[in-house]
Amino acid sequence: MTGPEAARREAATEAAAPPGGARSARGQASVLLVGGLMGVLVGALVLGAVARAVGREGEAQRAADLGALAGAKAMYVAYPRLFEPPVFAGRPNPAHLDRSGYDGPFAYRQGKPMRPDVAQAFDRMERAARADGVELLITSAFRSDAEQAALWARHPDPRWVARPGTSLHRYATELDLGPKPAYAWLASNGERFRFVQRYAWEPWHWGYVLNARSTADEGVAPSTGDGLAGRTLPGFVPARFAPLLTRAAQRWNVSAALLAAQLYAESNFNPFATSSAGAQGIAQFMPTTAAALGLADPFDAERAIDAQAHLMRDLLRRFASVPLALAAYNAGPAPVASCGCVPPYPETRGYVARILGLLAAVLQRHFD
């Protein structure tokens, strides 16, 4: 068939059958669509897995936070009972709460119990000592009050054996180490691993000072160690001193609330205060103490607060207790070390009680 009619039929046939190029384009589009859907599905699965992991981590963190708050609140509720007399009218006082030692889980090294974090720190120190050809042996670690009482009965000399209820060994942070050839290595290297020699006359007694049982934040806010140092400032702090306290607290890893309560008790934040005994400045330093800390001018508030935080850091490390560190700040470390207690000086006991009361008030506002 020729002519116009044949041309029309041929054109109609070509129009009815889709060209090969169009079929190819639609096939490619289908592949791309399926690939895109698969990508979306895989992405959704990955995002779902991430979301579940984040959710579990968030739940664990919330549980940890709630546990810390519950522990701190329990401590706050029990805190006043520490000051109740143990005996009333000749009978044991049920309202009295004895300061107990460590009651958490133990880790054992060389058969001796201690806090798990202390054990890990000792492992690091022992490896370093062994690399230097020095052997470290643990002769004593955690001791209960009953064990301390038995030791005291055998050796009732407070210079060498702490009275029951006062030994730092009850906190599971202390290690008695030997042998004698290791003493020099410990003196040179102990602080690298956060262990300090507690007493100059006991070269074998080393205490772990990171996350000590009684840290500067105890009684202020839930914390591990001084993790909140510099973050918690009471409302009674004058605005001009807030940044000075925050910087000093962060530099020396001491609670800003503790430093603030001290300044309130010492001078009521008066940088030019003086006492009849000769104490000077906002932190009430005696000239000899200021000189020992490198503080040339006790009336310079910024440097005095920094020196105060420095001294409190040292006292907290030495005595591992906020009340004992405060007592040493007020009365000097010698009488505190002699009795292992807040010395029976009315001024010192009043000073400690006043600051602890201020800290308790801070905690009450935190929870109320």
**Which residues have a catalytic role annotated?**
266
Q: What is the DSSP string of 323-361?
A: HHHHHHHHH-HHHHHHHTS--S-HHHHHHHHHHHHHHHH
Cβ count near 236 (within 10 Å): 14
Cβ count near 47 (within 10 Å): 10
Q: Which helix (H) or strand (E) holds 77?
A: helix 20-78
Q: Which helix (H) or strand (E) holds 177?
A: strand 174-178
Place of tokens 């906002």: 282
Distance separating the N- and C-terminal Cα atoms of the chain: 103
Collapse the DSSP code of 285 into the 3-class scheme (helix H, G, I; strand E, B; otherwise coil) and give the result: strand
| Residue 307 exposed, middle or buried by CB count within 10 Å (0-12, 13-18, 19+) | buried
Distance CA 258, CA 218 (A): 9
Token representation of residue 187: 């003196």
Per the rule left: phi > 0, alpha: psi between -120 and 50, beta: everything else, 143 is beta
Distance CA 110, CA 123 (A): 11
Instruction: Determine how β-strand 87-88 pairs with β-strand 91-92.
Output: antiparallel
Distance CA 241, CA 86 (A): 40
Which neighbouring-strand residues pair with 174?
207
Distance CA 171, CA 103 (A): 8
In a 13 Å sphere around the CA of 279, the CA atoms on its Cβ side amount to 16
Q: Are 140 and 100 in contact (CB under 8 A)?
A: no
